[in-house]
A and B are shown apart, each in its own frame.
Chain A
Amino acid sequence: MSRQETPPKWLDRLLSWYCRPDLLEDLQGDLHEYYHRNLSRGRFRANFIYLIDVLKFFRPYTIRRNQTLHSFNPFFMLGNYFKTSVRSLARNKVFSAINIVGLAISMSVGILMITYINELLSFDKFHQNGNRIYRILTTYKGITNDESVDLASTSIFIGRRLQEDYTGIEQLTILRRNFSADLKTGSKIMSAEGLWASENFFDVFDFELVAGNPATVLHDPKSIVITESLSKKLFKEGEPIGRTIELVGQERYGFQSGTITGVVKDPPASSHMQFEMLGSLSTLEHYAAGQEGESFLTSYNSVWMNYVYVLLPENQRVDVIKKHLDQIAAEEGEKYDRFFISYELQNLLEIVPGRDLSNQIGPTVRWNMIYLLVGLTLIVILSACFNYTNLSIARSLRRAKEVGIRKVVGAGRAHILTQFVFEAILVAVVALMMGYGLFLLIKQEFIYLFFQNQEITLDFQWIHLIYFMAFALVIGVAAGILPSAFLSGLKALKVLKDPGSMKLFGGMSLRRMLIVFQFTLSIGFIIGATISYKQYQFAVNFDLGFETKNILNVELQGNDANILMSEFLKIPEVEGISMSGMLPATGEVWGDEAKYKDPMDSVSIHVNYVSKDYLGLHQFEFLAGGTFPYDLKKDEDTKFTIINERLMRRFGMESPQEALGEVLTVDGSKKVQIVGVVKDFQHQRITEGHEPFAFLQGYEDYQVLNLKVASGDMVGFMTKLEAVWKAVDAVHPFRAEFYDDKIQKAYTQYQTYFKVIGFLAFLAISIAALGLLGMAIFTTETRMKEISIRKVLGATEKHLIYILSRGFVVMLVVASLIAVPTTYLLFEHMVLNDLANRIVVGPLELLSGVAVIFAVSMLTIGWQTARAARTNPAEMLRDE
């Protein structure tokens, strides 16, 4: 009977689940009283009313507050956490040092990345209308090419066309690169580099004019705007504006003298375009107008040297102008059938960092590169966080009692979690400060190593402080969350009553995984660095098919080759001299087209213009014939050629002997007779294969003197050369470089790879070694008693070391088994596979990483285990 009189249990449970405990008893009582009254109207009905009531009392004031949320005041205990954290750090000096140093090393790289990316993102921000300025990009595809090229450059044509007939833009300016010249005022000569710019340059951009009228400075032909620093160099005193200045280097446009019309502040380092002076574009257009027919300057397909920037009106959408450009491209495209051109727009702020484009106006950084760098940095940082995680979990026994007491006194799980995360953040902040110190130490080195060609300063900005603090916070949480979760999960009663029952090696498999990860990373990085280094060495020492040793290349810089040659020959150390246009195998390529008997069959060839002695001096191997019969005079055209095997075969000539005396057509209509055939040689970088190649003669095309030098006193010799140079050319500094050095420079890319990966490898190893050291110390410490007993029972030192190191060796082997094949496949199929000449990745390269890591780890572990094994067992066991 009494059972029947109570309402359903589950409803009672529901009520007590949500209701505040202090309200629950009498509320439930009330409801039961009503239930009893309602029983007279039938049990079912009473149950139903009870259900409605229970649901109806689910109200804001009756709901149970979340206990943890309610009592969780994160600031309340901070003082105490700080104190215990500092004490705990001070108590375990070795472990704190390992943690902090490891984090600091990785964080210095993180700081570098933050500073670098922040600097990149601030590029061109000084232009007030930056978000409305767009650059016109060109996609060019010739009919003979399979692939189109995306260019940052475009044609002067499209710029002027938009200015004439399109109203949807506010301002537009056209730039052209390669305005370099020697400026002469009085007795002073200064070489300077800059850009050609059209009249609206200062309407689009916010470069600040110090003197001159922005509306007119670049209007008239032969106007020059110079930067403040150039102005200071040229004119010590007096007003630069209005002065006439002589120019050497732009004679082909009839630009021998110009007028200074303005002085502009030096472009900031954060500008994607850098210049010392601006020449008025109208100079070139004036020249082009005087030419017969279509000029190479202003034609529709002259898209390689010019840049068009447009300022769109506010609220103007980009696709409107894009549509107009498409229309122009369609209209003009009909007139030409040998190429296709289309246009795109790129916002000024998206240039640095930006997408991959050819013909950039200045150096830029691709997003892909940034992602790669950030990815590698994150991996290194993660590795350092693992150290913290590992050591903290391993040493959690020491903190277990503290956790127990805290829990007994009333700390909830959330409190403990906060405490240990707070401790990790504290460590991260200390590491951050140390990391910043490290960063300052290596900053200049970094800039030198990686950012040589970029305007990167890595200077401090206040905004960095916020980023750095956020960085330390994230690192602290990332490093501390796992050990904190582990520690806060401990049961107070168990820890305090019977600490021995706690699993000492709790989280063992997790820790093993983290260590294996660190080793895999280190091994991978070392292998990567070794392979890049090998490939670099391979490239530099590659047998090119001609001799480059002891050849010093002196840049002519516009001087008369014959005069310099006869002067240089007077120096006894010079064994021979030849002249050449370019330097093969250094990445430089000169192209031309050649025809043989069939006028329709034109072959694109690579060429070099050289003097008679060039081939002998560089010891090219002749298959037939010999070098040119004589050297050309100044205005003489090329009459002879020397070709390589590949070109010979391309034209279907049977043998080198047969090729001699045959006539080719080059450079449009020039007939040249083959006087020699050389064996194929490496004329491009070794990553590319052999192409058809021809040597031609042409006095005007010589750029470099090749001096064969007898070895001896190099410093004295260079001084002599420089003295001779000064006597001939007082303006330009003497520029000479050994051929081998020049070749090395052609492979700086590998060198950079090698340096970056090598540096990361070094970091990864240091961090892994630190972590390993910590683990080794911990393991030997905790197993001290076991070791002592084993020793007493007769174990030898060797045996003890074996027992202690066994676990680590297994992890190393696992890491090697993961790292070696992964790295091998990565390099074999993604990095090296496109290269024409490449090293074969052998066991030596692959095992190098494993060997280094084994050596480092064995040293680390060996040091600790040997120390433990040598301890006198009596000392340890005496107190038992």
Chain B
Amino acid sequence: MKGTNLGEFEEVVLLTIASLMDEAYSVNIVDEIEKVTGRATKLGVVHAVLKRLEDKGYISSELGEPTKERGGRRKRFFKISHSGKVSLLKAREQRDQLWNTIPDVVFEGLI
């Protein structure tokens, strides 16, 4: 599968799931991303990405308890899988490598 590389938004969603730990379900993830990145996020977009990540095997999901505000429907909680963690690390490593190749002069005066 070509999708071993993480897209930018996929990476954000995956990191959010990792940071939310046991509280990672769709609505929560949307709220968290909005809070951290400050950009308006739609459920539809996140939902599609979650589906894609699950297909790739980076996250797993299970249904929780029904709640009243959801009309008695259960939440689907997401957990980052081992391969999800590996690909996150790999993405970070790639970036670090790129950072390391940039001479300091490029960012002189900014940092």
Contacts and interface: CB of A to CB of B under 8 A. Distances in A.
B51 A25 contact: no
B71 A6 contact: yes
Contacts of B70: 28-30, 32-33
A61 interface: yes
Contacts of B26: 26, 30
25 contacts: A25-B76, A26-B25, A26-B26, A26-B63, A26-B75, A26-B76, A28-B71, A28-B73, A29-B67, A29-B71, A29-B73, A30-B26, A30-B27, A31-B43, A32-B70, A32-B71, A32-B73, A33-B69, A34-B27, A36-B69, A53-B43, A53-B44, A56-B44, A57-B47, A61-B51
B82 interface: no
Contacts of B73: 25-26, 28-29, 32
Interface in A57-81: 57, 59, 61
B76 A59 contact: no
Interface residues of A, number: 18
Given A29-B67, A33-B27, 13 more contacts: A25-B63, A26-B25, A26-B26, A26-B73, A29-B71, A32-B71, A34-B27, A36-B69, A53-B43, A53-B44, A56-B44, A61-B48, A61-B51
Interface centre among B25, B63, B71 (most CB of A within 10 A): B71
B74 interface: yes
Interface of B: 25-27, 43-44, 47-48, 51, 63, 67, 69-71, 73-76
A1 B97 CA distance: 58
Interface of A: 6, 23, 25-34, 36, 53, 56-57, 59, 61
Contacts of B43: 30-31, 34, 53
A25 B65 CA distance: 12
Contacts of A32: 69-71, 73
Contacts of A34: 27, 43
Contacts of B75: 26, 29
Contacts of A36: 69
A770 B63 CA distance: 65
Contacts of A26: 25-26, 63, 73-76
A31 to B, nearest CB: 8
Majority SS of interface residues in chain B?
mixed
A27 B47 contact: yes
A25 B67 CA distance: 12
A30 B73 CA distance: 9
Contact of B47 (A6, A25, A30, A33): A30
A27 B71 CA distance: 12
Contacts, number: 48
A33 B25 CA distance: 12
B55 to A, nearest CB: 9
Nearest to A7: B71
Contacts of A29: 67, 70-71, 73-76
B48 A59 contact: yes
B79 to A, nearest CB: 14
A56 B44 CA distance: 7
A25 B48 CA distance: 15
Contacts of A61: 48, 51
B73 to A, nearest CB: 3
Contacts of A28: 70-71, 73
Nearest to A25: B73
A25 B66 CA distance: 10
Contacts of B76: 25-26, 29
- Listed from nearest, the 6 A-B pairs whose CB atoms lie closest are A29-B73, A26-B76, A29-B70, A32-B71, A36-B69, A32-B70
A863 B48 CA distance: 73
Interface centre among A25, A29, A32 (most CB of B within 10 A): A29
A31 B47 CA distance: 11
A335 B78 CA distance: 99
Contacts of A30: 26-27, 43, 47, 70
B53 to A, nearest CB: 13
Contacts of A6: 71
A36 B44 CA distance: 17
A32 B72 CA distance: 10
A59 B63 CA distance: 22
A830 B27 CA distance: 81
A847 to B, nearest CB: 78
A25 B74 contact: yes
A423 B67 CA distance: 54
A112 to B, nearest CB: 58
Contacts of B48: 59, 61
A36 B73 CA distance: 13
B78 to A, nearest CB: 10
A23 B44 CA distance: 13
B56 to A, nearest CB: 13
B64 to A, nearest CB: 9
Contacts of B69: 32-33, 36
Contacts of A23: 51
Nearest to B70: A29
Contacts of B44: 53, 56-57
B109 to A, nearest CB: 44
A56 B70 CA distance: 19
A34 B47 CA distance: 14
B71 to A, nearest CB: 5
B32 to A, nearest CB: 14
Contacts of B63: 25-26
A61 B54 CA distance: 13
Contacts of B67: 29
Contacts of B27: 30, 33-34
A28 B25 CA distance: 13
